[in-house]
Amino acid sequence: MDSHSFYSQLLEIRPLQSGACRVVSLANQKGGVGKTTTAVNLGAALAQRGHRVLVVDADPQANATTGLGLERGARPSLYDVLAGSAPLRAAVRGTAIPGLDVVPSSGDLAGAEVELGSAEAREFRLARVLGRDVAGYRWVLIDCPPSLGLLTVNALVAAADLVVPVQCEYYALEGLGALLATAERIRRSLNPALRIAGFLLTMYDARTKLAGQVGAEVRSHFGSLVFRTVVPRSVRLSEAPSFGEPVLSLDPSSRGAISYRLLAAEFERRYGVDEPAAETPSRGPGGRGYGTIAPEPAGLVQAWPPKEPWGAREVRG
Ligand SMILES: Nc1ncnc2c1ncn2[C@@H]1O[C@H](COP(=O)(O)OP(=O)(O)OP(=O)(O)O)[C@@H](O)[C@H]1O
Ligand SMILES: [Mg+2]
Tens-digit pLDDT profile for residues 19-38? 889 999 999 999 999 999 99
Name all residues whose Cβ lies below 6 A of ligand 1: 31-37, 59, 61, 63, 146, 202-203, 231, 233-234, 237-238, 241, 256
Query: In this prediction, what percent of the chain has a pLDDT beyond 90?
Result: 67
Work out the burial of residue 224: count CB atoms within 10 Å of its CB; fewer than 13 is exposed, 13-18 middle, 19 or more buried: exposed
Ligand 2: centre distance to CA 166 (Å): 13
Ligand 2: centre distance to CA 249 (Å): 20
State residue 5's pLDDT score: 53
Amino acid letter at 152?
T
Q: Which residues surround ligand 2, an ion (CB under 5 A)?
A: 35-36, 63
Which fold is adopted by the domain 3-270? Rossmann fold (3.40.50)
**How many residues appear in the chain?**
317
- Helix 255-270 and helix 235-243: axis angle, to 10°? 90
Structural domain spans, the chain: 3-270
Which ligand 1 atom is the nearest neighbour of the CA of 40? 18
Tens-digit pLDDT profile for residues 94-113? 999 999 999 999 999 998 87
**Bridging pattern class, strands 100-103 and 53-57:** parallel
CA–CA dist 257, 251 (Å, integer): 7
The residues that bridge with 232 in the sheet, in sequence order, are 204
State residue 9's pLDDT score: 64
The 3-class secondary structure across 222-272, one letter per residue, is HHHHECCCCCECCHHHHHHHHHCCCHHHHCCCCHHHHHHHHHHHHHHHHCC
CB 43 within 8 A of CB 178: no
State residue 298's pLDDT score: 57
Low pLDDT (below 50) residues in the chain: 1-3, 278-295, 300-317
Question: Which ligand gives the minimal distance to the CA of 41?
Answer: 1
Which residue, by CA, sits nearest to atom 14 of ligand 1? Answer: 32
Starting at the edge strand found earlier in the chain, the sheet holding 100-103 runs: 93-94, 100-103, 53-57, 139-143, 22-26, 161-167, 195-202
Which ligand 1 atom is the nearest neighbour of the CA of 28? 21
Which residue, by CA, sits nearest to atom 8 of ligand 1? Answer: 34
pTM value is 0.86
Which residue, by CA, sits nearest to atom 31 of ligand 1? Answer: 238
Sequence-distant (≥ 6) Cβ neighbours of residue 25 within 8 angstroms: 141, 142, 144, 152, 155, 156, 158, 159, 161, 162, 163
Mutate to test the pocket of ligand 1, among 26, 33, 37 (most ligand atoms within 8 A of CB): 37
The residues that bridge with 140 in the sheet, in sequence order, are 23, 54
Amino acid letter at 2?
D
Which ligand 1 atom is the nearest neighbour of the CA of 235? 4
Ligand 1: centre distance to CA 256 (Å): 12
